[in-house]
Amino acid sequence: MSMLKKKHLAKILSGLDGYRNPKPELEQYETPGDTAAEMIWMADLRGKLKEKVVADLGCGTGILSVGSALLGARKVYAIDIDEEAVEIARANATRLNILDKIEFLVMDVREFDRKVDTVIMNPPFGCQTRNADRPFLEKAFEISNDVFSLHLAKEDVERFLKRFSAEHGFEMMIIGKSRFDIPAKFFFHKSRLVRIDIHIIHFKRRGNV
């Protein structure tokens, strides 16, 4: 499985089951398969994935957890507060015969207290609830030295992330860009499709090799 090419990984991840009943208050949008594959691939190129213990905070339907397992993570913790989403994530992992590599936990990410080598996550962007991404970032900085995360490509967001990560002893590096095509799912959506630009970011604890 670890010999997968990025294009093949993206194809597999794009074919995973998504949300059946997405919840707007949790900002439940599927991470595009190519974006997920790109971030996971970058983490692996930096030596932060293969044979590592990984946490996916806010795993949703499991695209980042599954991708990490497929690329050779030794163990993945997939954490989400939504039990229905975790059930879908577990079914996706079962279908790909990697259930033994992923531990699914239904809980608030703030309750997770295990140290890991790497965090790979797509936290809420805070579009519905202001600062919704902060608990995810705080927990990630607490449990790991290397965090790979997706965030809106906006100047004010970038300024906040630089300041916030520095306050927690991390340096922030934008290592890639992507775009989300979000189809209308919720009552407040006024367009059939919204495209948003995304930064793939590596937060690295200062002084950590």
CATH class held by domain 6-205: alpha beta
Q: Is 83 exposed, middle or buried (0-12, 13-18, 19+ CB in 10 A)?
A: exposed
Instruction: State pTM to two decimals.
Output: 0.90
Element (H, E) at 181: strand 170-183
Res 187 pLDDT > 60: no
Domain residue extents for the chain: 6-205
The amino acid at 129: T
pLDDT at position 26, please?
58
Angle at the Cα of 64 from the Cα atoms of 203 and 190, rounded to 5 degrees: 95
Q: What is the pLDDT of residues 111-135, one digit of tens each?
A: 999 999 999 999 987 555 567 789 9
Alpha-carbon gap, residue 107 to 98, rounded angstroms: 21
Q: What is the pLDDT of residues 42-98, one digit of tens each?
A: 999 999 999 999 999 999 999 999 999 999 999 999 999 999 999 999 999 999 999
Band the pLDDT of 19: cuts 50, 70, 90: confident
